[in-house]
Amino acid sequence: MDKLKQWVALTVLGCLGIAAAGWFLLVSPKKAEATDLQAQTASQESTNASLRTQLEVLKAQAKDLPKKQADLARVAAKIPDNPALPGMIRALTAAAASAGVELVSVTPGPPAAVALAVPVAAPAPADATAPADSAPAAPVAGAPAPTAAGTLAGIPVAINVVGGYFEVAQFMSNLENLPRALRVTNLTLAPGTSPVAGEGASTSTEDGRSLTTTITGSVFMAADRPAVAPVVAPATS
């Protein structure tokens, strides 16, 4: 009986040892792996939900894509990538004819980069342990700021017209609707007649008064503008 009890005890201990070994060698690693896979699945499902939301937003934005492209085309027409002076002169001529004034001269200047005001950061307190040449250089105020749309350049222009007060006012109103962006910086009015009018010709208005008007300002161009490939809206199923 004693030997039988010993064999039973040894058998039970052996089974327990095999069960423990199976747990630590097989079951426990697989359980940890399953837990890790569940965590990865939950994370991936969260990522997929976020991507689905972004996709829905992009689909909604794609419906407005043609309108946005048309708006960009209108802005690009107002600020071309070259001086485009012939088109500007034709637009000024049409604006003058519509207002009833005589366009005497248009004098453009050379393009120059537009200096954009850059805020200057306050100087940091000097560190006694840092070398003198290790401090970063502060941005320079008024330096041109290049962007992804190119460098903005201004072309100064002087416009001389002759006409009555109300005609000149209408011409100024027409300048706001030019196909080219024009910034007026100065306006000078003086009594006088057209310097290019023929002898005996009259440029006075119905009330007998005429004004020689000099308008100074700038038109703009986007120098070094990168070419933009057309964007095609994705097809929706």
Q: Which residues touch 138 (CB under 8 Å, ≥6 apart)?
A: 120, 121, 123
Task: Give the residue from 232, 236, 235, 190 showing the smallest Cα distance to 213.
Answer: 190
What angle separates helix 28-63 from helix 65-78, to the nearest 10 degrees? 60
With beta carbons less than 8 A apart as the criterion, state whether 188 and 168 touch.
Answer: no
With beta carbons less than 8 A apart as the criterion, state whether 156 and 108 touch.
Answer: yes
Per-residue pLDDT for the chain (237 aa), expressed as one digit of tens each?
A: 576 666 767 777 777 777 776 666 666 677 777 788 888 888 888 899 899 888 888 888 788 888 888 887 777 778 888 888 999 999 999 999 999 999 999 999 998 888 766 555 555 555 544 444 444 444 434 444 444 456 888 999 999 999 999 999 999 999 998 988 899 999 999 987 655 555 444 444 444 568 899 999 999 988 776 665 554 544 554
Q: pTM higher than 0.85, yes or no?
A: no
